[in-house]
Amino acid sequence: MVKLITYVAAADVEESFKETALTWPLWDSRTHPQKPAKSGKFHFDYNGDYETERVLIMSGKATLTPEDGSEPITITKGDQVFFHKGFACDWHVTEPMTKHYAYYGEDGEEVEPNPSIACDICEAECYEESYLTKEEEDICPDCYKADKKMYAGAEHQKFGEPLPSPTKAKGKREAPKPKGASKKARKDESEDEEDEEEEDED
């Protein structure tokens, strides 16, 4: 069987790898969707468009239970881990973790990651179209349609950018009111319009 995870204990990690890893982006376990929330538990499949995710653990501790029935692996500060394509496991972060990570192709060269947005409900990839809730959760179209009332007011996005909200046609198109306009200001403006209409009738 092909080994889908490579683990190197902190004491055996080469300095050259550490130096390179420190230039990579930093991941924080507290920002990753967890089930149940704040449990430190989540499932992850390493099946992206890259061959290997290389990681240097900077802080924290986690136990990884491989989906194939292999023995669980505990990773902690200073450890080097390579997650190869096809690996899948259940994460249990027992101490909040940060890690530097990068993706590598078959040729051993670093590759740029594809933009990604995962649904905070079902974990489906939804970069092409998603809804951002007031609680800053990313919701895929399927989960959004399943409970539109719960996600009322969510911002519709495509490729991580908000879509312009459709303006309801009411005869003529009105200029949008500034978000910061007070209720009193809007009331005064409405009264002024009524006065103008009365003058026109005279």
Which tokens is 174 given? 């009105």
Residue 189 has pLDDT above 90, yes or no: no
Residue 145 has pLDDT above 60, yes or no: yes
Name beta bridge partners: 10. none
Which tokens is 11 given? 């004491």
What is the per-residue pLDDT across 109-136, written as a single tens digit (0 to 9) for each?
Answer: 998 876 678 888 887 878 788 999 988 8
Task: Please enumerate in sequence order all residues whose Cβ is within 8 A of that of 13, keeping only pairs 6 or more positions apart, or say none.
Answer: 56, 78, 79, 80
Determine the pLDDT at residue 94: 97
How many residues are given for the chain?
202
Question: What is the rounded average pLDDT for all residues in the chain?
Answer: 83
Cα radius of gyration rounded to whole Å, the chain: 25
Which domains are present in the chain?
5-111 (2.60.120.10), 115-170 (2.10.110.20)
186 band by pLDDT with thresholds 50, 70 and 90: very low
What is the per-residue pLDDT across 55-112, written as a single tens digit (0 to 9) for each?
Answer: 999 999 999 999 999 999 999 999 999 999 999 999 999 999 999 999 999 999 998 8
Residue 11 has pLDDT above 80, yes or no: yes
Task: Please enumerate in sequence order all residues whose Cβ is within 8 A of that of 107, keeping only pairs 6 or more positions apart, or say none.
Answer: none
> CA geometry: angle at 137 spanning 54 and 124, to 5°?
55
Report d(CA 60, CA 36) in Å as an integer. 19
Q: Which letter does DSSP use for residue 12 in this model?
A: G
Report d(CA 123, CA 135) in Å as an integer. 17
The per-residue DSSP string of 123-159 comes to: --B-SSSEEE-TT--EE-HHHHHHTTTTTTTPEEEET
